Each structure stands twice: as C-alpha cells, then as structure tokens.
Amino acid sequence: MQHYCNNCNTYTKQQYCPLCKNKLSQKTGDNEYYPIYETKVKRRRFAQRLVLFIAIFIVSTSILINLLTNPDKLWFLYVLSPVLYSLLTINHTILSRAHIGSKVVLQVIALSVMLFILDAASGSSKWSIHYVIPFLVTLATLLVTIIVLRKPMKWREYIGYMTTMVILGFLPVILFLSSWSTVLWPSAATALYALMTLIGMVLFSEKTMKNEIVRRFHF
C-alpha cells in the first residue's frame, strides 16, 4: 500500500514521510512512484513528424491548385524547393543531433539544389550555377576549416566532411567544362580555394592527419 504526503508530494510504503517525518494516512495513492513524463527525444520526434506533415500538406496542396488552375505553368516549383529546404533545415539542422559537419555539407547541397530549381523555374538564367553555388561551396569549406582549426583534437571527426567540401569545390569547374556554366572566374576561384585548402591540410597538419589525407586521396 502506498501512502501519500501532502507536504512533500511524495508516495512511500512507510507510514511516516522520510522527508518531513509526518505520519501519513492509510489512503492508497492513485499515482505511480515514477509518473509518466514526455522526454525531450519524444518531443523532438513529434516536432519532426509535425513539420514533415505540414510540408507534405503544403506541397500537395500547391500541386493540386497548380494543376487545377494553371497546368501550363508549374509555379508549384516555387513552393516545392523552399518547403523541402525548410524541412531539411528544421528536421536535420535544428532538431536533430547529427554531426555539425554533416549539417554543413547537407545545407550546402540542399541550398544549392533549391536555388538551382528556383533558377530553372524562373527562366534558367543560370545565376545559381554562375555565382551562388560556387560562393556557397567556398563559404562552407571555410566554415569547416575554421571548425577544424578551433578543435584540432577532433580533426578525425571532420576529415570526411572536409574531404567532401574539397571535392565539391571542384564541382563548379566541372560544370563550366561541361558548358553548364559560362562564367569562369567564380568556378576557378572556388576550385583554387579548394586546392589551397587541400594543400594546407597536407602541409600544416600533424603526421597522423597527413597519412589519413594521403590515404583518402590516394596520393
């Protein structure tokens, strides 16, 4: 039988409260020793599912309205890409406990895809490929570099993401060589920064980090 203490708001099997030492009634408590409570993980998962549901509702509604009103012009793309980017930002970047390197890489990729879709939907002037995407890749590479420099003891956690950003740094040049982009200097600047970052990683890192870089790039 459980006894309840009105002063301390506790339940015990003893007839006297272990805190205030008052004698307790013989009335059985209605609650358990450990009341049910909602953990932060459950709240975070619920928030992620709620955001996903809202995103699906917005996208599906936009597609339906677009097809019913003006099927010749796919304006729902202006809604689709920002909603998907917002979904990733909230569920992965903000609410999840993923590694910060993963968040940076996925942010660059998602933001680049969103801007490319908006560019294509607005007439495909290729402003995203010419200028914005190279700038984003350079900025993200610099951000990961700063994180590695500030936390040198955790370089092993970031080496994979750093390698990914260096590889992405050469992507604008590939787009230029394949005639997707016609403006050379942003792509060349991004590739040069990626190359200098790689050289700096090899020259100024410790021996163990150099061996890891050489192994990953197969020098």
pLDDT digit string (tens) for 110-126? 999 999 988 888 877 88
Give me the pLDDT at residue 32, please: 47
Contacts of residue 165, Cβ cutoff 8 Å, sequence gap at least 6 = 104, 105, 108, 137, 140, 141, 144, 194, 197
State both tokens at 142. 């610099």
What is the C-alpha separation between 61 and 71, in angstroms, rounded? 14
pLDDT digit string (tens) for 137-169? 999 999 988 887 777 656 677 778 888 888 899
pLDDT digit string (tens) for 71-123? 888 889 899 999 999 999 999 999 888 888 889 999 999 999 999 988 888 87
State both tokens at 82. 């920002």
Give me the pLDDT at residue 5, please: 64
Phi, psi (rounded to 5 degrees) for 186: -65, -40
* 163 backbone φψ class: left, alpha, beta (φ>0; ψ -120 to 50): alpha
Helix (H, G, I), strand (E, B) or coil at 217: helix
Give me the pLDDT at residue 82, please: 93
Type of residue numbered 42: K
Residue 131 has pLDDT above 70, yes or no: yes
Please report, for residues 74, 96, 100, 107, the alpha-carbon distance to residue 84 in angstroms, rounded to integers and kept in the order given. 16, 16, 20, 12
Type of residue numbered 144: V
Residue 34 has pLDDT above 80, yes or no: no
Residue 127 has pLDDT above 70, yes or no: yes
Higher pLDDT, 11 or 135: 135
pLDDT digit string (tens) for 35-59? 444 567 788 889 999 999 999 999 9
Q: Are 132 and 160 in contact (CB under 8 A)?
A: no
Query: Which run of H or E residues covers position 48?
Result: helix 40-69
